[in-house]
Structure 1
Amino acid sequence: MTSDHPFAQYVRILGKGPKMWRDMTFDEARAAMNMVLAGEVEPLQLGAFLLLLRRKGETGEELAGMVAAARDHFLETDVRAPVDFDWPSYADRHRQQPWFILSAILLADQGYRILMHGIAGYTEGYAPTRPALDIFGIRQATSLSEAATALQAENLVYLGLEHFCPSVQALFELRPLLDVRTAVNTFGRDLNPFAAPHQLQGVFHPPYKALHLETLKALKQPNSLIFKGGGGEVQRNPMKPVLVDALVGGEHQVQEWPEMTGESVYKWREEDLSPAELLRMWQGKLILPVPELAIIGTLAFALKLAEPDLDYKAAEGRARDIWESRDKGRFG
């Protein structure tokens, strides 16, 4: 008689009968994901585990345990950097321009240090993020150490997931095999490599807001804004009211931001995804009123997170002033 595989216990927890399965604890989820990331799991087990999790729905406690496991598997585990904002960018299939990059540049110009991180590559036909970073000369680090060093001189640095946690990047690459999102699409956004005190979270589906909130509470993240973002990115939709779940000093708040315009469409060419369009917007050579509001509104979210006493109108007004006073020739 052969003994059970060590990972079988975690499949069993999720896969037992309708009245016998249960959620995993933080420690169980951390142990299970540690085995996954260490390559100690058979492919059959991994597929079953991820799909059973998806079928039942992950809990914040489970996702927090998986974040802890991912942090255990960073290529460098003792690197620190004085970062103000963690800015995850993991939506590789959105059909909007990454206007949020301009918001991040403007936020960095206010003296805040920002680490933006995300997955490698993008799907053909969808808006690219990394080429847009190149257009603006934003440093793309290739390790946590390099990012930490760069942040001593620059306020905005990007770090690809493949450069600091390739075992989690490998889980993202299972998407073509499974054709569904898995837990990694959620917990990958919460990694916060440098433990920044402020974190922005743009989710694709509103139900994921509560899940991220519970995850961040379990991780003791002090300050965060979680909202339905354009294309699942940290990008405000200015055409609709936005219901934001916020953590302020560890306490949960619900913020109701009003719409910024009566327009109902962005009015830009969907077929033109060139990063050069973003540069033209910065330079004032391309006027797109609604995307400009997306830039201003996203920046207002960040300013409000950094300064909780700002009211919505003041945050938006300051963000507008910052946008309108930018140096349009800076990236010429």
Structure 2
Amino acid sequence: MNLITPAEHPFAQFVRILGKGKRGARSLTREEAREAMGLLLDGKAEDTQLGAFLMLLRHKEESAEELAGFTEAVRARLATPAIDVDLDWPSYAGKKRHLPWYLLAAKALAASGVRIFLHGGGAHTAGRLYCEQLLQPLGIPLCRDWSAVDAALQQHRLAYSHLGDWMPTLQRMIDLRNTLGLRSPIHSLARVLNPLGARCGLQSIFHPGYQAVHREASQLLGDHAIVIKGEGGEIEVNPDAVCHLYGTQDGQAWDEEWPALSAQRHVKPESLQPEQLLAFWRGEREEAYARLAVIATMALALRGLGLPREQAFAEAERRWSRRLQSN
């Protein structure tokens, strides 16, 4: 009979910190979060521990310190070359109420010279339209490695990369969504990563209260970022609602509130027809909601690059009107 007590798994401490009951549980410190994510990324945790960890975090709701620590662990394991990027543009939510007009905003900005790195986690939830499904018809390069990203940014100033190609362990965690029944905090984490160190990271967080947490996480990391509650969870300004910008730059937090652009709410389409994106891009179709959403989203990006609001909107109008000429 073996009477030796088995040693505790190194990752068990992090599950215990999060799950030790109402009185005993607490958030991870930034250092603990960095260590925990490091063990997960290095494959040094069991699957049962991963599932428990993600769902305990989901139930508790992740803190800014945890997001910052997780991000530091990811960045420490990314072997990224020096690539010049203006905007980091994460796209992980998918759209279900409106078409992804933000993709046209990104295309128009790229046509005017702004270098944009798009990244996402694939189609993980039924009933949504994802960025990856529209890359080919919209002419957005799909890049499978960093050299392809660099080449696409130099040639087109716009590149898309799948999370699974540069951080497959995180992609696996996102793919657990249908196994666990809930989205995990990895969906939030992916928005903070800014893997190429872009001048400004744009983030969209749909659930109220999380925007300030994400802003604080970027602040802890020393990043320049703007966080909004984007339409459907994507970086797209909803013209029918007030848009609050949660910004951070040079370690200082700032806030800005943009009024709704439409006096009445637009009726959402009965179905999403992706071919309408190209028709609108080419000027073959006009749509009031689409135009407001595209211009406001472009203005948001330009605000992130330093232009004040009024100038950003004027510049967005100018660049949109010249999008085909630029191409």
TM-score exceeds 0.5: yes
Distance of aligned partners of 1:274 and 1:320 in 2 relative to their CA distance in 1, 3 Å threshold: same
Structure-to-structure mapping, 1:141-220, within 5 angstroms? 141-220=143-222
Report the equivalent of 1:97. Answer: 99
Letter in 1 for 2:258: W
Indicate whether 1:240 and 2:237 are aligned. Answer: no
Indicate whether 1:56 and 2:60 are aligned. Answer: yes
Contact 1:84 1:112 in 2 (8 A): yes
Q: Secondary structure at the match of 1:304?
A: helix
Report the equivalent of 1:269. Answer: 269
Structure-to-structure mapping, 1:1-332, within 5 angstroms? 1-74=5-78, 77-92=79-94, 94-221=96-223, 223-265=224-266, 267=267, 269-271=269-271, 273-308=272-307, 310=308, 312-327=309-324
Contact 1:94 1:232 in 2 (8 A): no
- Render the CA deviation track for 1:203-251: whole Å, top value 9, x for unaligned: 1112110111111011110x21111001100000011111111113331
Equivalent pairs counted in the alignment come to 323
1:130 Cα deviation (Å)?
Answer: 1.8
1:279 Cα deviation (Å)?
Answer: 0.1
- Render the CA deviation track for 1:247-305: whole Å, top value 9, x for unaligned: 1333111101111111202x45332x332110000112221101210000000111112
Distance of aligned partners of 1:116 and 1:254 in 2 relative to their CA distance in 1, 3 Å threshold: same
> Please, what is the CA RMSD of the aligned residues?
1.8
1:9 Cα deviation (Å)?
Answer: 0.9
Q: Secondary structure at the match of 1:151?
A: helix
* Separation in structure 2 between the aligned mates of residue 144 and residue 64 of structure 1, nearest angstrom: 24
Letter in 2 for 1:41: A
Greater CA deviation, 120-129 or 182-191? 120-129
Greater CA deviation, 126-135 or 105-114? 126-135
Greater CA deviation, 9-18 or 121-130? 121-130
* Separation in structure 2 between the aligned mates of residue 135 and residue 328 of structure 1, nearest angstrom: 19
Q: Secondary structure at the match of 2:203?
A: strand
Q: Secondary structure at the match of 1:5?
A: coil
- Render the CA deviation track for 1:7-62: whole Å, top value 9, x for unaligned: 11111111223222222111211111111122221222112111211222211111
Letter in 1 for 2:22: P
Contact 1:283 1:328 in 2 (8 A): no
* Separation in structure 1 between the aligned mates of residue 246 and residue 111 of structure 2, nearest angstrom: 26
Greater CA deviation, 208-217 or 127-136? 127-136
1:93 Cα deviation (Å)?
Answer: 5.6
Q: Secondary structure at the match of 1:255?
A: strand
* Separation in structure 1 between the aligned mates of residue 125 and residue 51 of structure 2, nearest angstrom: 23
* Separation in structure 1 between the aligned mates of residue 23 and residue 205 of structure 2, nearest angstrom: 31
* Separation in structure 2 between the aligned mates of residue 120 and residue 166 of structure 1, nearest angstrom: 12
Letter in 1 for 2:147: S
1:328 Cα deviation (Å)?
Answer: 7.5
1:185 Cα deviation (Å)?
Answer: 1.2
Distance of aligned partners of 1:268 and 1:16 in 2 relative to their CA distance in 1, 3 Å threshold: closer
Q: Secondary structure at the match of 1:18?
A: helix
Greater CA deviation, 42-51 or 111-120? 42-51
* Separation in structure 1 between the aligned mates of residue 31 and residue 46 of structure 2, nearest angstrom: 21
Contact 2:86 2:114 in 1 (8 A): yes
* Separation in structure 1 between the aligned mates of residue 180 and residue 30 of structure 2, nearest angstrom: 25
Contact 1:96 1:270 in 2 (8 A): no
More helix by share: 2
Contact 2:95 2:234 in 1 (8 A): no
Contact 2:80 2:196 in 1 (8 A): no
Letter in 2 for 1:104: A
Distance of aligned partners of 1:224 and 1:78 in 2 relative to their CA distance in 1, 3 Å threshold: closer
Greater CA deviation, 292-301 or 107-116? 107-116
Q: Secondary structure at the match of 1:10?
A: helix
1:90 Cα deviation (Å)?
Answer: 0.7
Unaligned runs of 5+ in 2: none
Contact 1:96 1:127 in 2 (8 A): no
* Separation in structure 1 between the aligned mates of residue 17 and residue 122 of structure 2, nearest angstrom: 32
Q: Secondary structure at the match of 1:327?
A: helix
* Separation in structure 2 between the aligned mates of residue 315 and residue 150 of structure 1, nearest angstrom: 26
Greater CA deviation, 30-39 or 15-24? 15-24
- Render the CA deviation track for 1:90-117: whole Å, top value 9, x for unaligned: 1036432110011111111222111010
Q: Secondary structure at the match of 1:152?
A: helix
